[in-house]
Amino acid sequence: MIIVLKAEATETDAKDILAKIESVKLKPLFMPGTERIVLGALGDERVLQSLNIGAHPMVENVKPILSSYKQVSREIQSHDTLVQFGKTTIGGGSFLVIAGPCAVESEEQILQSTRLVKQHGASAVKAGAFKPRTSPYSFQGLEEKGLKLLKSAAEQYQLPCVSEIIDTNHVELMSQYVDAFQIGSRNMQNFNLLKAVGQTQVPILLKRGMSATIEELLLAAEYIYSEGNTNIIICERGIRTFEKAYNNTLDLNAVAFIKNRSHLPVIVDPSHGVGIKPLITPMSKAAIACGADGLMIEAHHNPQSALTDGQRALDETEFEQFMDEIKPFIHAAGKTLSEQAST
């Protein structure tokens, strides 16, 4: 329920109403605006009706929140959320390119790959240290050693870094090394993990589950948000459909839809979403055109030697060309490439 107070309502009036909301065990929200105070009440709205808040002399109107996801919806916050990622920002016109290899493989590999993405304009580096692989026989990541290598490469090139978290027990360990936690497709509905990262203030890159609906994705974001962590970036990374011509079907409808229904920034990962190198640049342009706030791209200094996802990683020449080609699209969308931390 959204409760809009009259222009003359004071903070004391707001506190009085919030106490009433709390008294029936609903979650109260206080959202002071420039012109008037807006309050929220989350939970079973039938309980709230018994309070007859609409009759309070300082209440202008009361309206239900229609979507199942509440705090991440535009119904409750009409302006875009900006997420601070290291020293860089995403959202509100600041366009973030996160790039890097699928996994940290060695000191030389992560240094070279971080150098190349920095040199050609990425504002953040990504690489996995804990890799959730389909087969137990595939490379599983360098774990803490990988995190150390990623952090030191990111520091050397002054970029914020993101890496995937797969276990609630890793929250403390990973927060020593990374600037953002990635929740991968396979863990989008790992509710304990969502709650655990929700109890931190570390920015979260929440990737869409490969078979998740948009409502399920936004409810996953709601799990994180409702624990108190509002620094969430949504990532569309393709879904499974009947189409076999490419890795996944990049659902760009989702970008426009989520931008319309939620205030959270949305980025697109065409490297997993399409998975075919020549399609990464055109689909990135399309993502920018339909409102994405950023891109996540796999890039590797020597893709042939990559232990994971080498077939879709851009090499240095390809990444340089990719950046050159997307810049006019970012500009045409009225956005600017988010600044690198050192500039």
Site for ligand PEP, rule CB under 6 A = 102, 128, 184-186, 207, 237, 272
One residue of 184, 309, 322, 340 binding Mn ion per CB under 5 A = 309
DSSP single-letter state for residue 299: B
Q: Which does 120 bind (CB under 5 to 8 A by kind): ligand PEP, Mn ion, none?
A: none
DSSP single-letter state for residue 266: E
Instruction: Kindly write out the interface string for residues 49-88 of this chain, putting x where it contacts Mn ion by CB under 5 A and - elsewhere.
Output: ----------------------------------------
CB of 187 to ligand PEP, least distance (A): 8
Strands (DSSP E) contained in 261-332 are 266-268, 294-298
Can you tell me the distance from the alpha carbon of 42 to that of 21, in angstroms, rounded to the nearest whole number?
9
Instruction: Output 36 or 133, the one with its CB closest to Mn ion.
Output: 133
CB of 309 to Mn ion, least distance (A): 4
Instruction: Output 229 or 308, the one with its CB closest to ligand PEP.
Output: 308
Q: Which stretch binds Mn ion (CB under 5 A): 3-11, 46-54, 208-216, 308-316?
A: 308-316
Can you tell me the distance from the alpha carbon of 312 to that of 296, in angstroms, rounded to the nearest whole number?
12
Closest CA to 235 of 304, 156, 178, 180: 180
CB-count burial class (<10 Å; 0-12, 13-18, 19+) for 108: exposed
Instruction: Output 297 or 333, the one with its CB closest to Mn ion.
Output: 297
Q: Which does 237 bind (CB under 5 to 8 A by kind): Mn ion, ligand PEP, none?
A: ligand PEP
Q: What are phi and psi of 94, to 5 degrees?
A: -95, 115
One residue of 102, 299, 314, 333 binding Mn ion per CB under 5 A = 102
Instruction: Output 21 or 99, the one with its CB closest to Mn ion.
Output: 99
- Residues 243 and 61: beta-carbon distance below 8 Å: no
Can you tell me the distance from the alpha carbon of 65 to that of 85, in angstroms, rounded to the nearest whole number?
30
> Site residues (CB under 5 A) for Mn ion?
102, 309
